[in-house]
Chains A and B, each alone.
Chain A
Amino acid sequence: MKIRNFLLLTFLVALFLGCAGREPTPGVTDSEILIGNIQDLSGPMKELGMALPHGSNLYFNYINGKGGIHGRKIKMVIEDHQYNPQKAVASAKKLVEQDQVFCFYQVIGTSPCEALRPTLEEYKIPLIAPATQSGTMSDRSRRGWEYIFHTDTGYDKQANILVDYAYEQNGDAKVGVIYQDDDYGANVLKGIAEAEKRHGVTVQKEAYQRGATDFAGQVMNLLKGGATHVIIGGVVREPIIVMKTAAAMSYAPQFLGISPTMDHRVVLGAGKEGEGFIAANFAQLYNSDVEGAKLYRELFENSGTDPKVMGMYNFYGFMTAMVLVEGLERAGKRLTRAGLIRAMEGIKDWDGKGVFPGISYGPSDRAGTESVVLVATRGGIQQIISDWIE
C-alpha cells in the first residue's frame, strides 16, 4: 500500500510540474551570437567535419577581432551527427533547446539536412549555407524551404553545365556519366535529364555504389558505348580509380567532374592519368588571387595550423562563414530569426570579396549561385580555364 501511495504522489507531482512549461529566448545576447553547427565528426565524412568548421572559425575570429557584428561576437557550437539523420535531428533539438542557438549553419550532408526540415519549421529557425551541393536544398516544393539558404551551385545545375560544355567543345560528342547511386547521384541525374531534353540526346549512365572501389565494369561499358566525354559524379577516390582504370584500358575520353572531385587530392592521386581532367567548382580556388582567397591564406598562415589542412574544404568553411556574417550584418542590431531571413533575402549579386560568382536570394529564391567555373589539371596543377558559366 505504501508503495502505491508513493507512486501516486510522484505521479501527481510530475503532472503538476509538467504543466508549468517555460519559454526560453534564443541565442542572442548583448555580447554574443550563438550559432549551431552539426558536422560528421566520426563517420564517413569526418574529414570535412574537421576542415569546414576550422575554416569558418578563421573568419569568425577575424571578425570578432574587429569588434564582432554590431558589437556581438560570434560563437559556434558544433554537434556530431555521424552522418545519421536521426542523430542530426536529435543534435538539432539539443542545440535549439539546450544551447539555444540563434540559427543553424553549415550542417553537413544531404540526408541530415533533409531530415532537419520539420525541426526548422517547428522552431522557425533558419539554416544558412548547408554543406552540400544537392540542388534539393533550394527546392521550393519541399517542407521548410523558406528557412534554408543554399550557397552552392546544385549538382544538377553543374551536371547540366558540363553537358553543355561537352557539346560546345565537340558537336558530335557522346556523353556518359558515372554516378554514385544515392542522393548525390540522384541530383546529378536530374541535371543530366534536363540537359538530355535540351540537346535531344541520351547520355549513357553508369552507376556505382557509394564506397565501391572497383569500376572496371562501368568503365568498360563506357568504352563500349563510345563515350567521348565522361562526367564523374564521385568524390575523391572514385575519379582517381576511374581515370586509372580507363588509362589501363587505353581509353582516354575527356573526363569532367562535379564539384567534390575538385579536391586537389584527385590531382595527386591520379597522377599522370589525371592530366587534362576538368572539374566544375562553384567558387574561386583557395589559391587564386581574389581578395577573399588572399585573406583566407593570410589568416590561415597566422593561425599556425598544420599546412596540410589548407585546401578546398577548409576554404569552403571560410567562404560560407563570409555569407553568414554578411547576412547577420544586414539583419541589423535588433537581431531576430525572421530578421535574418529577410536580410538574407535582400542579398543580390554579392561576390564575397571576389570569391563567388554573385550570390543572390529573394523572397522565393533560396539558391545562392547557379554558375560554375571550370578547373583543369594542366601539368599536374589545377588552373581555372573559364569564366563563370551559367
Chain B
Amino acid sequence: MKSRYADENLSWIAPLVLLVIAIPFLIRGVTFSYKYYLYVLNIAGIYTILAVGLDILSGYTGLISLGHAGFLAIGAYTSAVLVDQAGVPFGLSLIITPIITGLFGLVVGFPALRISGMYLGLTTMGFGFIARRLIIALRAWTEGSAGLEVSNPVLFGFEFANDWTNYFLIFTFVVAVIVVARRVMNSKIGRAFMAIRDSERAAEAAGVNLTRYKLLAFFMSAVLAGLAGVLFAHTMRFISTDHFDILLSIYFIIMILVGGAGSIYGAVLGSVFIVLLDFLLIPAFKDWMALFVAIEVADIQSLIFGLIMFLFIIFQPMGLYGVWLKIRIYWKLFPFNPKKRFT
C-alpha cells in the first residue's frame, strides 16, 4: 500500500501549515481588532470542515444534500449535551460525536439507495427539517428552541477560552481534514464515488458496490459535519435551533458550488470565500456604498450575495477552483497563451 502513495506530492502540506500558523500573528500585528477577524476565520474554518464533507457527498458522489445543516445541528447539540450534561470530556466528545452523527448519516443514506436526483434533494431537505424538529422535541436536554449555552473546549486540562486559542484548535482540524480528505479522494474510494456520480449503471457494471459506497459517502460527510458541529458548539458557546435552518443548508451548497464542486481545494476556497464575503466584504461594501447613496442599503447584502451566486453559476460553473486552475495554466504557459482560451 505504501508504495502507491510514495510518489504523491505532499510538499503542499508544510507551507499550508506555516500559513495557517502565521495568519493570526499577521492579523494581530496589523490591526487592533484582530479578535474580530479571528472570529470570522474560525467560523470559516468550521464551515470548511463541513463543506469538505458536503463536497465528498454531493460533489464527488453526486448525491445532492439540501439538508446538511441538520447534521451540523446534530453534531453541535450532541456534543453540548454529552459534555455539559453527561459529563463526557471534550476530547472524548470529539471522537464520539462525529461517529454518532455519522450514524445519522447512514440513516439518511438508506433512502438514498432508492431515491435519486431531485427527489433525493427533497428527501435531504426534509431530513434537515426533521432533524431540527427532533432536537426541539427533545427539550428536556436541548431546551427546545430557546437555545443552549455551551462550555469551552477543554483538552488535557487546557481550556480554550478565546478566539486566539480557538483558532489553533479549529485549524488543526481543518488542516488534518484537508490532508486526509485529499488522500482518500485520490484513492480507490474517491474514484468509486466519482464513478457513481458520472453513471451509476456504468459504475455497477465496473464492479462498484453502489450500496456500500453510497452509504460510505453519507457516513463520511456526516462525520465531518459532526466534527464541525462539536467545534461550532464549543467555540460559539451558544447554539439554538434557529441557526440550523434551510437557509444554512443552502449556504453550504453555495460554498461548494462557488468553490468548485468535486474538488477538496474547491470546497476550502468556496467556504472561506463565502464566509469572508458574507461577514466582511459585503458589510464593508455596504458601508462604502452608504457614503454615496442615501437609500436603505440594508437589503443590498442579500441581493449582492444572490447576485454573486447567480453570476458564478452562469459564468464560472467550475467555481473558484476553476478560476485558480485557469490562472495557473495561464501562468505556466505565459506568454504563449492561445487568445481565445480564457473566456
Given a CB threshold of 8 Å, the question of whether A touches B is answered with yes
Task: List residues of A whose CB falls within 8 A of some B CB.
Answer: 7-8, 10-11, 14-22, 24, 41-42, 46, 49-50, 79-80, 82-87, 89-90, 93-94, 96-98, 110-111, 114-115, 117-118, 122, 136, 142-143, 181-183, 185-187
Chain A residues with CB under 8 A of B236: 85-86, 89, 115
Binary CB contact string for chain B from 228 to 249 against chain A (1 if under 8 A, 0 otherwise): 0000000011101111000000
Contact B147 A183 (CB under 8 A): yes
Chain A to chain B contacts (Cβ below 8 Å), 16 pairs: A14-B23, A18-B25, A41-B298, A84-B243, A93-B33, A93-B163, A97-B35, A98-B32, A98-B36, A114-B147, A115-B238, A117-B238, A136-B146, A143-B149, A181-B144, A186-B146
Please, how many angstroms separate the alpha-carbon atoms of A90 and B41 in the complex?
Answer: 11
Binary CB contact string for chain B from 294 to 313 against chain A (1 if under 8 A, 0 otherwise): 00101101100000000000
Contact B162 A122 (CB under 8 A): yes
Chain B residues with CB under 8 A of A111: 147, 238, 240, 242-243
Contact A80 B35 (CB under 8 A): no
Contact A11 B32 (CB under 8 A): no
Please, how many angstroms separate the alpha-carbon atoms of A305 and B36 in the complex?
Answer: 36
Contact B149 A17 (CB under 8 A): no
Q: Which one, B14-22, B191-199, B323-331, is touching chain A?
A: B14-22
Within the complex, the shortest CB–CB distance from B235 to chain A, in Å, comes to 10
Given A86-B243, A181-B145: A17 and B18 within 8 A (CB)? no
- A11, A24, A183: the one contacting B240 at CB < 8 Å is A183
Q: Quick one: closest B residue to A181, CB to CB? A: B145
Name the residue in A8, A80, A143, A187 with the highest tally of chain B Cβ atoms < 10 Å from its Cβ. A80
- A14, A118, A136: the one contacting B237 at CB < 8 Å is A118
Within the complex, the shortest CB–CB distance from B136 to chain A, in Å, comes to 7
Chain A residues with CB under 8 A of B146: 110, 136, 182-183, 186-187
Contact B240 A50 (CB under 8 A): no
Contact B30 A118 (CB under 8 A): no
Chain A residues with CB under 8 A of B301: 42, 80, 82
Within the complex, the shortest CB–CB distance from B80 to chain A, in Å, comes to 14
Please, how many angstroms separate the alpha-carbon atoms of A155 and B51 in the complex?
Answer: 39
Q: Quick one: closest B residue to A136, CB to CB? A: B146
Q: Quick one: closest B residue to A91, CB to CB? A: B283
Chain B residues with CB under 8 A of A7: 15, 18
From 272 to 324 in chain B, residues with beta carbon under 8 angstroms from any chain A beta carbon are: 279, 283, 296, 298-299, 301-302
Chain A residues with CB under 8 A of B299: 41-42, 46
Within the complex, the shortest CB–CB distance from B48 to chain A, in Å, comes to 15
Given A14-B29, A94-B36, A115-B236: A87 and B279 within 8 A (CB)? yes
Chain A residues with CB under 8 A of B162: 122
> In the complex, how many residue pairs between chain A and chain B have their CB atoms under 8 Å apart?
126
Please, how many angstroms separate the alpha-carbon atoms of A122 and B39 in the complex?
Answer: 14
Given A20-B29, A182-B145: A80 and B283 within 8 A (CB)? yes
- A8, A82, A93: the one contacting B36 at CB < 8 Å is A93
From 27 to 52 in chain B, residues with beta carbon under 8 angstroms from any chain A beta carbon are: 27-30, 32-36, 39-40, 43
Q: How many residues of B contact A (CB 8 A)?
A: 43
Cβ of B26 under 8 Å from chain A: yes
Known: A16-B29, A85-B236, A115-B240. 8 other contacts (CB 8 A): A10-B22, A50-B296, A85-B243, A115-B237, A118-B237, A118-B238, A182-B145, A186-B144
Name the residue in B21, B35, B146, B296 with the highest tally of chain A Cβ atoms < 10 Å from its Cβ. B146
Within the complex, the shortest CB–CB distance from B255 to chain A, in Å, comes to 15
Please, how many angstroms separate the alpha-carbon atoms of A14 and B149 in the complex?
Answer: 35
Within the complex, the shortest CB–CB distance from B35 to chain A, in Å, comes to 6
Given A14-B26, A114-B240, A186-B146: A94 and B21 within 8 A (CB)? no
Cβ of B24 under 8 Å from chain A: yes
Chain B residues with CB under 8 A of A17: 25-26, 28-30
Within the complex, the shortest CB–CB distance from A97 to chain B, in Å, comes to 3
Please, how many angstroms separate the alpha-carbon atoms of A269 and B302 in the complex?
Answer: 29
Chain A residues with CB under 8 A of B21: 11
Please, how many angstroms separate the alpha-carbon atoms of A257 and B18 in the complex?
Answer: 59
Chain B residues with CB under 8 A of A18: 24-29
Please, how many angstroms separate the alpha-carbon atoms of A158 and B240 in the complex?
Answer: 24
Chain A residues with CB under 8 A of B147: 85, 110-111, 114-115, 183
Please, how many angstroms separate the alpha-carbon atoms of A7 and B162 in the complex?
Answer: 28
Chain B residues with CB under 8 A of A142: 149
Please, how many angstroms separate the alpha-carbon atoms of A87 and B28 in the complex?
Answer: 21
- A87, A96, A117, A183: the one contacting B149 at CB < 8 Å is A117
Contact B302 A42 (CB under 8 A): yes
Contact A181 B136 (CB under 8 A): yes
Given A80-B283, A93-B36: A21 and B298 within 8 A (CB)? no
Please, how many angstroms separate the alpha-carbon atoms of A98 and B40 in the complex?
Answer: 14
Please, how many angstroms separate the alpha-carbon atoms of A49 and B15 in the complex?
Answer: 45
Contact B25 A182 (CB under 8 A): no
Within the complex, the shortest CB–CB distance from A118 to chain B, in Å, comes to 5
Contact B22 A11 (CB under 8 A): yes
